[in-house]
Chain A
């Protein structure tokens, strides 16, 4: 156990269960989050997605969603959110409760204490049927239908759809292409038995991170969760190593057509840099300089100078070593945009960007890191997402790492980036454009 200058208290609540409490009185709200991290498995993603959507809808104490929601409303609008995220080869199931800080609660109600207790009810005591299985049958049926609607409606957001298609094509057979939101074909097999099994497995075998941020009494939260986990025979699985780098052999070019007005261009690049590599910060800065906002080369050249798009941005995932460039364009401008994107990456690789551009990206990133401390939610996820980083750093330490990145390190990262896939979602072919597209993998 330790308490350091960042008002941070850290302890372990048993095998693979870490507890972290960040004491902050600068906010009017607070939160308690519990994260379960486990290896990504294609066979489990759908059941886990459905489980995630069920957990915050009821518990043994509040069997109906409306009852649970009323209890939260009475706690001055507390809220429980669940999320499933993927990083690298792992999935993370998060259940987080956010609430008004006790200092702002009228009267002497201890909202933080009640919320800690409620979170443990939700996570550890879901509704149990007479047959001993978890959840209410009707509620499960509704959750399955909602999951189906959610999966099928992905197509409504064309940018998200195009990005997912690019990822499918680029990372076929790799864990990164697995959809955390689940698959339609799995839904018929998701029963209360399957959900009960998935819940037990997650609570018994996941790596657990419990994080509180705000004016929360850590001793009482620690006590609650230590007691709850005692009921589980825990044997925590090792986290798998992050996916190995896969050098692209040939650029995959795919154009798909749909009833859209604007074409979505997604370019997928691979970098052999994943956590806990020392170069990840340089790679993040490289991506920011390349296409991370209004100071970037892509914004200034593809949008501002050439007027080819409304947005053209890049983002790099340090758990997968993948960088995407995304833009919404006129189909006829595709070649121009692709060429300009490649050209700008070469500018970085050739260390030919200006000092102003480099310093702007650096300053922008430093400001972003410094501002993390202004949000309870961002502080919480800052600590939750460091599992693969080799050690836990504060945002201030993050800022120091950014400052240390040099021009040549950034250029080196750009030199290592390899274009893997160029995906385009384009309007349905009109008479004039209905011609052979050429290239590999077109349909």
Chain B
């Protein structure tokens, strides 16, 4: 028996035609469900607001504990193993495709399936809520994670990014790789894993999002049956004070790459962005530096960028930046051109015609974000975790103006607070 729809807050969106069912479960887990009966797939993601940056924390006002870097990621690996058998082995009976990932500020466990949703859902909720670590199993996992760390160390792309973080952040844990180092993970013990688990994997710190071929009431009924209540904890995760300034404007590493790789980051002071600012930030990057811009065209002609040139944003608590990346034979010259363009646009503003191109593109992108069950649930989960109004983004994309964009642009892109990271072959080579 289910409780009917009265437990849900239901949002029916006119622009996308989607309906999302929201509820905070009595245990504290926040839930969002987007039923899409026309789909073959059902997808669920169970996430905890806990990632690699949460390595210094206190519970219920107690002493702060500093744990080894990479422990959130290690914990993610180890949760897949229960006392009797592993989660993958259990999933195997359902045909579900399951996995997990750890980011700076979250850890998410997910699966998608076309059949046996109930069984797979039960496995997901069960293994995430029932940790089982032994000395032996923790030891065995170390070899696997060392290989994972080494895999990234052989990637020049990961190197250039990781160096940029070190050039931009003195103390913020974003400067450390999510998986930690071979050295830091050697200090991880079952006791430490349990301590982190018992702190962060608390229902009040968790978000479940489900999308696709599912019935919201049935999902909620399963949650009622499977969620384990726990005492609510006051968790404080602290990060060393960041003075808001970069550490160094330039960082370089010599690696045997055929062409230099670069990342150029503009550091900003961290704040909670409004939905309009969020949408505008993307539109600005596209309109000022993207393939539709005059700048991009000029840089291609000057041979300072190639079609691989791209950009994104970094946003985790305490750290915010816009980052440009790609391959360029002359990264320093490109950086100077980007600086000049920033100053020009701050003076003259963004072309209203190009702004409209970027705005329409953003609008289309925010509609098609509701195409795939996986994307829908991932976005809903993120938005709940970090306080973003999912449908507010789309409304913003329909209505933002070039004046707002110019106003925001003038506050972003402080060229005196940017770092350039380059990986290239040694000059002697």
Q: Could you tell me which A residues sit within 8 Å of B by CB distance? A: 26-29, 53, 64-66, 69-70, 72-78, 99-100, 104, 106, 138, 142, 145-146, 149, 152-153, 155-158, 258-262, 293-295, 299-300, 303-304, 307-310, 328-330, 356-357, 359-360, 363-364, 366-368, 370-371, 373-376
A-B contacts besides A78-B364, A106-B363, A367-B95, 5 pairs, CB < 8 Å = A29-B368, A66-B291, A99-B364, A367-B114, A371-B114
Contact at A100–B372, with CB atoms within 8 Å? Answer: no
Smallest Cβ distance from B406 to chain A, in angstroms? 19
A76 contacts which chain B residues (CB < 8 A)? 360-361, 363-364, 367
A90 and B257 CA atoms in complex are apart in Å by: 32
**Provided the pairs A367-B95, A371-B112 are in contact, do residues A156 and B147 lie with their beta carbons within 8 angstroms?**
no
Contact at A28–B16, with CB atoms within 8 Å? Answer: yes
Interface core residue of A303, A356, A360 (most chain B CB under 10 Å): A360
Smallest Cβ distance from A80 to chain B, in angstroms? 11
Contact at A100–B38, with CB atoms within 8 Å? Answer: no
Contact at B368–A293, with CB atoms within 8 Å? Answer: no
- State which of B23-31, B198-206, B301-309, B332-340 sits at the interface with chain A: B301-309
B360 contacts which chain A residues (CB < 8 A)? 73-77
A77 and B361 CA atoms in complex are apart in Å by: 4
**Residue B147 contacts which of A78, A329, A363, A368 (CB distance < 8 angstroms)?**
A329
Contact at A368–B150, with CB atoms within 8 Å? Answer: no
Contact at B155–A158, with CB atoms within 8 Å? Answer: yes
**Provided the pairs A295-B88, A366-B95 are in contact, do residues A26 and B38 lie with their beta carbons within 8 angstroms?**
yes
Q: Which chain A residue has the least Cβ–Cβ distance from B297? A: A66
Q: Which chain A residue has the least Cβ–Cβ distance from B213? A: A374
Contact residues of B between 65 and 87, Cβ < 8 Å to A: 86
**Residue A262 contacts which of B94, B151, B372 (CB distance < 8 angstroms)?**
B151
Interface core residue of A26, A70, A73, A300 (most chain B CB under 10 Å): A73
Smallest Cβ distance from B35 to chain A, in angstroms? 14
**Provided the pairs A303-B144, A329-B147 are in contact, do residues A66 and B258 lie with their beta carbons within 8 angstroms?**
no
A96 and B327 CA atoms in complex are apart in Å by: 26
A70 and B99 CA atoms in complex are apart in Å by: 38
22 contacts between A and B (CB under 8 A): A28-B371, A29-B371, A53-B307, A66-B297, A70-B354, A73-B286, A74-B356, A76-B360, A77-B365, A149-B327, A152-B258, A157-B155, A262-B150, A294-B88, A307-B142, A360-B92, A363-B95, A363-B115, A367-B95, A367-B97, A371-B40, A371-B112
5 A-B pairs closest in CB distance: A76-B364, A363-B95, A77-B364, A77-B361, A360-B92
A360 contacts which chain B residues (CB < 8 A)? 92-93, 95
B88 contacts which chain A residues (CB < 8 A)? 294-295, 299-300, 304
**Residue A370 contacts which of B92, B114, B256, B371 (CB distance < 8 angstroms)?**
B114
The interface size of chain B toward A, counting residues with CB under 8 Å, comes to 74
Give 1 or 0 for each of B125-142: 1 = CB within 8 Å of chain A CB: 000000000000000111
Name the prevailing secondary structure of the A interface residues. helix
A72 contacts which chain B residues (CB < 8 A)? 361
Any A CB within 8 A of the CB of B153: yes
A149 and B327 CA atoms in complex are apart in Å by: 9
Contact at A259–B306, with CB atoms within 8 Å? Answer: no
Contact at A28–B144, with CB atoms within 8 Å? Answer: no
Smallest Cβ distance from A57 to chain B, in angstroms? 8
A309 and B140 CA atoms in complex are apart in Å by: 11
Contact at B151–A328, with CB atoms within 8 Å? Answer: yes
A294 contacts which chain B residues (CB < 8 A)? 88, 91-92, 98-99
Contact at A310–B144, with CB atoms within 8 Å? Answer: yes
Contact at A364–B95, with CB atoms within 8 Å? Answer: yes
A152 and B89 CA atoms in complex are apart in Å by: 41
Q: Could you tell me which B residues sit within 8 Å of A by CB distance? A: 15-16, 38-41, 86, 88-89, 91-99, 112-115, 140-145, 147-148, 150-151, 153-157, 255-259, 261, 286, 290-294, 296-297, 300-301, 303, 306-307, 327, 354, 356-358, 360-365, 367-368, 370-373, 398
A77 and B375 CA atoms in complex are apart in Å by: 18
A73 contacts which chain B residues (CB < 8 A)? 286, 292, 357-358, 360-361
Question: Number of A-B pairs whose CB atoms are under 8 Å?
Answer: 176
A357 and B96 CA atoms in complex are apart in Å by: 14
A184 and B93 CA atoms in complex are apart in Å by: 49
A53 and B308 CA atoms in complex are apart in Å by: 12
A99 contacts which chain B residues (CB < 8 A)? 364
Contact at B93–A356, with CB atoms within 8 Å? Answer: yes
**Provided the pairs A28-B370, A74-B357 are in contact, do residues A69 and B291 lie with their beta carbons within 8 angstroms?**
yes
B151 contacts which chain A residues (CB < 8 A)? 262, 310, 328
Contact at A66–B296, with CB atoms within 8 Å? Answer: yes
**Residue B39 contacts which of A26, A104, A260 (CB distance < 8 angstroms)?**
A26
Smallest Cβ distance from A258 to chain B, in angstroms? 8
A156 and B16 CA atoms in complex are apart in Å by: 41
A99 and B370 CA atoms in complex are apart in Å by: 14
Contact at A66–B293, with CB atoms within 8 Å? Answer: yes
A242 and B140 CA atoms in complex are apart in Å by: 44
A307 and B144 CA atoms in complex are apart in Å by: 5
**Provided the pairs A309-B147, A373-B40 are in contact, do residues A260 and B154 lie with their beta carbons within 8 angstroms?**
yes
Contact at A153–B292, with CB atoms within 8 Å? Answer: no
Smallest Cβ distance from A74 to chain B, in angstroms? 5
A158 and B255 CA atoms in complex are apart in Å by: 13
Q: Which chain B residue has the least Cβ–Cβ distance from A157? A: B155
Interface core residue of A27, A28, A158, A258 (most chain B CB under 10 Å): A28
A152 and B40 CA atoms in complex are apart in Å by: 42
A259 contacts which chain B residues (CB < 8 A)? 255-256
Interface core residue of B151, B156, B363 (most chain A CB under 10 Å): B151
Q: Which chain A residue has the least Cβ–Cβ distance from B18? A: A28
**Provided the pairs A73-B358, A142-B300 are in contact, do residues A374 and B39 lie with their beta carbons within 8 angstroms?**
yes
Smallest Cβ distance from A280 to chain B, in angstroms? 21
A164 and B140 CA atoms in complex are apart in Å by: 31
A64 contacts which chain B residues (CB < 8 A)? 297
B327 contacts which chain A residues (CB < 8 A)? 149, 153
A78 and B86 CA atoms in complex are apart in Å by: 43
A259 and B254 CA atoms in complex are apart in Å by: 12
Contact at A70–B257, with CB atoms within 8 Å? Answer: no
Contact at B141–A261, with CB atoms within 8 Å? Answer: no
Smallest Cβ distance from B141 to chain A, in angstroms? 7
A307 contacts which chain B residues (CB < 8 A)? 140-144
Smallest Cβ distance from B340 to chain A, in angstroms? 18
Contact at A65–B300, with CB atoms within 8 Å? Answer: yes
A83 and B354 CA atoms in complex are apart in Å by: 28
Smallest Cβ distance from A428 to chain B, in angstroms? 11
**Provided the pairs A74-B357, A77-B360 are in contact, do residues A156 and B157 lie with their beta carbons within 8 angstroms?**
yes
Smallest Cβ distance from B13 to chain A, in angstroms? 12
Smallest Cβ distance from A105 to chain B, in angstroms? 8
Contact at B303–A142, with CB atoms within 8 Å? Answer: yes
A442 and B410 CA atoms in complex are apart in Å by: 59
A376 contacts which chain B residues (CB < 8 A)? 371
A4 and B301 CA atoms in complex are apart in Å by: 50
A65 contacts which chain B residues (CB < 8 A)? 291, 297, 300
A119 and B371 CA atoms in complex are apart in Å by: 23
Contact at B16–A104, with CB atoms within 8 Å? Answer: yes
Contact at B257–A156, with CB atoms within 8 Å? Answer: yes
Smallest Cβ distance from A356 to chain B, in angstroms? 7
Smallest Cβ distance from A93 to chain B, in angstroms? 17
Q: Which chain B residue has the least Cβ–Cβ distance from A375? A: B372
A303 contacts which chain B residues (CB < 8 A)? 144
Contact at B112–A261, with CB atoms within 8 Å? Answer: no
A310 and B98 CA atoms in complex are apart in Å by: 16
B99 contacts which chain A residues (CB < 8 A)? 294
A329 and B365 CA atoms in complex are apart in Å by: 39
Q: Which chain B residue has the least Cβ–Cβ distance from A293? A: B97
